[in-house]
Chain A
């Protein structure tokens, strides 16, 4: 078992013919992901070829789903088309939408999220690295070379910081069940709590690593959830302890606003929930091992 993506994932790639879309589709196929279709409006009928696999390209998601039975999509389209790509996938009945695109306007995401909440569709992202289940499937851009099958679940707001932690885990022989990058935008799909709930229910996952950042209050909410609902041990790291207040550190969400969103507050809330919190990324592995 694992969560969200596995051998049953039938992946569609929106934006498959673009530079990033094509590079990372090859990487996903190479990892063993079952990529069944691509969509680029105007390029329907073309065939995308990589690693000996031929992937049909369609003009619309609806067509792709009808002809290939795709159940998951990975979105690589530019920000001005990204909200539409999410709506399109949701309307075509896709169950899991993974949106990597960054810089989607907040008001667009408010509408997207509000619409998705009326459907039975899950969204990961936007502005995220996607997710990966070692040995089964990779949806997004997390490097396949750094993961290893195992029983640690990883959920993170960050991209490259996640790679850092996963790499250290693998290096020490600690494999992962699934690694989920939920993204750092203020309005997004799955949040920490949603993923923690899935890890708690997943028999393969024995413990969880949570990687948070300054800004917002998702880590505090996660701490509350852990206290009340989690039996599996959770280890955490919060980035941005030295960030100056009032300055946005890259992600739209990563800003310390007045008294809220500070690293100290998040660390304290997590520790109060019995979570071990690392002082730096490399230390997470030591805390898990101990």
Chain B
């Protein structure tokens, strides 16, 4: 089933109970909501550190490689989720190990990524289900997600979240101040590799929901908004997860009643939230710095 755009599903009733019943009446919708929930929690939490560590580009790189992996799995007759997870984690090991050498090598990295996309296209052409699978991998097809894939996704997400919790404090320390952290005995290199592995799982999860080309939005937009809204890392992660859940659920619900794809709604809502938060906090910041300048002027 190519279900990313739904036909009519009755009409929105303004009665939340009736709407909820209609939304969750069918198995594929329950699967979609569950997968969206898993992906949003993981991406919201992991995204906080992606933004803090300036790893947006690495996350984007992983989506390209995930696409190649997903299409490779399709070629082998497997579910794309295995190829996604397999390729992104392998690539994460490479990125983690070569992080220092790759810095400032934009052309090399860019060429590898483009080649990954090219391979993905080749794999898909070689396999039979060209257009549907391409569409699903590039732009997401959460409404077509099977229960088996959902289980794999949830399992990987639980492991990734547990790992994030386990390395929380040293990761925060290394993200804010890697030199002091290293001097204090934090294994910064090991943490860097471990964290990119966690990002790989988040990328695979986000790709399942909104596709490889848009996955970065779910990882970066809620986290970046949350960082502008909070001053404590614990609260920041909670707000990031809440925003990711809100845009994902709202996106799936909107796609249920309106004839447009889930990915479009999720990405657009994430962008709107991000833009609004940015505009609001920018005004607040200008006022704060004016106050400071005034205070400094008085003091001098």
Instruction: Tell me, yes or no, whether A binds B.
Output: no
